[in-house]
Structure 1
Amino acid sequence: MNAQPTDQETPAVQVMSCCAPAITVTLSDAEAAQLADALSLLAHPIRLRLLAILARNAGHVCVCDLEAALPVKQPTVSHHLRLLRDGGLIEGERRGQWIYYAIRQDALATVRLLIDQFFASLTPDKA
């Protein structure tokens, strides 16, 4: 005999949705693109070393000194300097036949702020 459970015998099951619409997006498409551009600009050892050299030396640093400080050839240094300049993180000033580079502190502060805001948004709110 097949015994069918009656309504009183059937246990109550509460189905919870696993995908509740309580997600808030804290990073817009434009903000994500801006942060990704900044991070990709920083995501190379030579560019990081260039920024470190420029940060440690107040004022402008001659390109010849930058080339001498790195284990790569001049075209590679020039390429990475161009990327940093095009990305707005450094500025160059021609003095005679040499170019002197310096960090743009305002641009670096903006990148730092973007990164700080992004990682702060990853921390769950304490209720």
Structure 2
Amino acid sequence: MKHILTTAVIALLLAACAQNKPAKNSLYYWGDFNKQQYQTLNNALTPQEQIANMEKYFLDAQSNYAKAAPGTHAHLGMLYAKVGNLAGAKTQFEMEKQAFPESATYMNFLLKNVVGEK
């Protein structure tokens, strides 16, 4: 009985330690990007507020020495396009394409159809 109790206490302590261990570092910085996407889809904030939040996201990623997550530059580019800042949109689409070459086809599509690039 003493052996079972000792094993249970050790298992409990190990479980408690495992919960306090920091989460495994992610390859990308996600921050509150998911929340920002949700707000965009639900028109919870104005485009200008969303742009300000995304610009803060990139500053946070930089201050955490982390890579911006896939889709974040494209998201900001779409927000810029929404408010008529086509130069900003183009820059963000190009940055997305550079950071994630697998997105080149879609970014080229956006450059052509959103920015009007030939």
Query: Normalising TM by the smaller chain, what interval?
Result: 0.3 to 0.5
- Which has the larger share of helix? 2
- Which has the larger share of strand? 1
When normalised by structure 1's length, the TM-score is 0.32
When normalised by structure 2's length, the TM-score is 0.34
- For the pair shown, the structure with the greater C-alpha radius of gyration is 1
